[in-house]
Amino acid sequence: MNRTFVLSIMVCFVLASGFALAAAEDANKTATQSIPLSCASPSLQLNLEAERSSARITRLGWDTEGGNRAKVNLLKAPVELRLFHGGRAVNVPAHAETPNPETVRYGLSLSDNKQIAWEIGVQTDRLRMRVTSNGDIAQNVDRLELVFPFEPTTAVTCVIADNWTADGKFALPAILSAPDLGQMLVTQTGQPALTGKIDGSRSEKWVTVTLEFPVLAQGMDTSLEFTPILLPKPAGFTNEQQWKAARRGWFNMVQLSCGASGGSKDVIGTWANNVLSDPVSSVLYMLVDATLLVPELAPGVSMPPILRRTVEYWIDHKTNGDGLIAYTALGTPGKEDSGGRDFDTANMQNVMDANPSVLIGAWGYVKASGDTEWLKGRIKDLEFVSAYLERHDTDGDGLIESKQSGNNGSRPPRDPDCAWDCYNSGHKNAYVNIMAYRAWRGLAELEGRLGRTEQERTYREKADKLKAAFLPVFYNAETGWLGFWRSRDGVLHDIWSDAATSYAISYGLIEKAKGKEMLERYWHALKETGFTRFDLGTPICLRPIPREEMEVYFDFKQFLNGGCCVSNTSYLLNAMYTVGMTAEADSILDAMLKRQRDGVFKNGGGFQNGFVDHMGQGAEVFDWDGNPAGYEGHLVYCWAFLHSMLLKEPALRESIYGNLF
């Protein structure tokens, strides 16, 4: 063998060995730079890693349901304690100590021997942080921020709080909610008192929660506790096994806007599709059910103030002079001329289900809180919102007519008349009128609370007149269930969806015997399609919708053209339980609960795969094979089926709705 060749092999071997040793040393060095903290108890699985060379937490994950999901890292960037002086960030040297395996303590050195200490400690059932100073540090620092940069594509971690200021900040206690992973209640002791803020970017896909520490002259000593939340089973619900399957996902319905998708600071803290997405007025009635079923989320955090803040946002900031409420926070409600027609459609929204949904929201808040003082101050606003609906019974038959004609191919994309916003619906819309019926029944009840008997009678009569006209207009004798809308040209548009039928049964517009007959027909048609994936819910419609009946067209089994939207299933379940189709409803609910409990995606989600914001990839809609077909990734309405799980109990439903329907 050539001697030069042999030497070359030996040199290569030595170099390779050296590189391997160097890599191993780097790996060991990296390992020693990371300080792991963890706990494992029935109430909390926690996984945290802190840096040794700088004051940062690089990994943070938790599971509050006794599973193994704490390995999911919620962070997009490290958690940091940031120091500011004169409006500018101050970088100071930091050193780490580990007085015991459950604690890391950072010392941040300032001039004049002043120091700030940030201590992070893990116990069996909580995470603790303490920030102290060794005296007056106001000459060196005037503000501190504890910053949590969350990764929304992993899970749309958000803040749930019921005490928001005018400039969009929240006070503690507050909940850090990581969907399908768990919820941590954040509380504070000591001084100074903290406020928090949440920021984010939809396009750049980030969410940051910041706790702000003002600096006091006498120094600071503030402790934070992060404790797991375990929702108790609601009174009146007896199925412990089902509640355990549902509990992890209950909070998934409660996502509050960070202002990243339109609106000013006023929109922060209002209910939204998810923390980075749109607040939508038309579906506020779903938050009402969540509020009434589980009003208390944790000590110091309850649902009624969240509902009130959201109702007030739509009334105070998104209602025009005609009384029409916008569809989304970024939108503008369409104006009208004296004949009730649009005179400026550019960037205008003309949905007809926003007004009834906000009215239902107001009813729900008063029902949950008993706050008649708020009602006294708002009743004129509610009547103003209702008056818009009343004026749009243009032919006097008791039914509301939308601005849109609903005729096939009658309008360009993106001028929907309701939250089912891909359809070409309009004129007499069954869904819109069902919402109006529920709204007027609720408004009558509110007027009665105030002793306004004449107004109470007026709204009851409007609801009764609508109910009398409803079935003849929307019943389809050919299918045996309800069509979705009757267009201005007189055509009944039946898209083979159960939505109108299910909502009408749930809200008492159709008597139980007739409703059961309709649903049995629909159930037979559903089984005839061969659909079996009830873990996904049920398809929104059973046959392809003609292209001329959709504003924005999708292939069949995709999105609102036959996709499994998850959320729509809840009202089919409600209707089935109402009419006594219990076995059929249970077969759907049990499959959905199993998926919710077990999870499907890497983040543990069954009906969400993090913030996606890309059509065809979000897990809030599925095709019939279970492939994601949505765009949000996390859509709060998906978990309305958990409400159905509770509302199947007649006593619980009665305690919430009473004689409303």
- Whether residue 178 has pLDDT greater than 50: yes
Which residues fall within 8 angstroms of residue 119, CB to CB, at 6 or more apart? 103, 104, 105, 106, 128, 129, 130, 131, 132
pLDDT at 28: 41
Residues 94-138: tens digit of each pLDDT: 999 999 999 999 999 998 889 999 999 999 999 999 999 998 898
pLDDT at 11: 33
- Domain limits, the chain: 32-228, 254-657
- Whether residue 339 has pLDDT greater than 90: no
- What average pLDDT does the segment 518-524 reach? 98
Interior/surface letters 200-236, b for 16+ CB within 10 angstroms, e for the rest? bebeebbbbbbbbbebeeebbebebbbbbbebebeee
Residues 135-176: tens digit of each pLDDT: 889 889 999 999 999 999 999 999 999 999 999 999 999 999
- Whether residue 2 has pLDDT greater than 80: no
- What average pLDDT does the segment 363-389 reach? 98
d(CA 256, CA 277): 9
d(CA 271, CA 278): 9
pLDDT-derived band of residue 342, with 50, 70 and 90 as boundaries? low
- Whether residue 367 has pLDDT greater than 70: yes
- Whether residue 222 has pLDDT greater than 50: yes
- Of 560, 403, 524, 399, nearest to 468 by C-alpha is 399
| Predicted model pTM | 0.93
pLDDT at 26: 41
pLDDT at 580: 97
pLDDT at 5: 35
**Would you state the structure tokens that stand for residue 562, as one six-digit string?**
């036959």
- Whether residue 344 has pLDDT greater than 80: no
Phi, psi for residue 548 in degrees, rounded to 5: -75, -10
- Of 470, 447, 471, 313, nearest to 386 by C-alpha is 447
CATH class of 32-228: mainly beta
- Of 67, 64, 10, 41, nearest to 599 by C-alpha is 67
- Whether residue 295 has pLDDT greater than 50: yes
pLDDT at 468: 98
pLDDT at 341: 61
- Whether residue 50 has pLDDT greater than 60: yes
**Would you state the structure tokens that stand for residue 112, as one six-digit string?**
């004049």
pLDDT at 31: 43
Which residues fall within 8 angstroms of residue 246, CB to CB, at 6 or more apart? 593, 596, 597, 642, 645
pLDDT at 9: 32
Residues 201-210: tens digit of each pLDDT: 999 999 999 9
- Whether residue 10 has pLDDT greater than 70: no
- Whether residue 12 has pLDDT greater than 50: no
Fold adopted by 254-657: Glycosyltransferase (1.50.10)
d(CA 81, CA 393): 58
- Whether residue 266 has pLDDT greater than 80: yes
Tally Cβ neighbours within 10 Å of residue 550. 20
- Of 217, 162, 229, nearest to 192 by C-alpha is 217
Instruction: Choose between 80 and 343: higher pLDDT.
Output: 80
pLDDT at 264: 84
What's the whole-number average pLDDT of the chain? 93
Instruction: Choose between 339 and 32: higher pLDDT.
Output: 339
- Whether residue 615 has pLDDT greater than 50: yes
CA atoms within 13 A on the CB side of 338: 0
- What average pLDDT does the segment 313-339 reach? 92
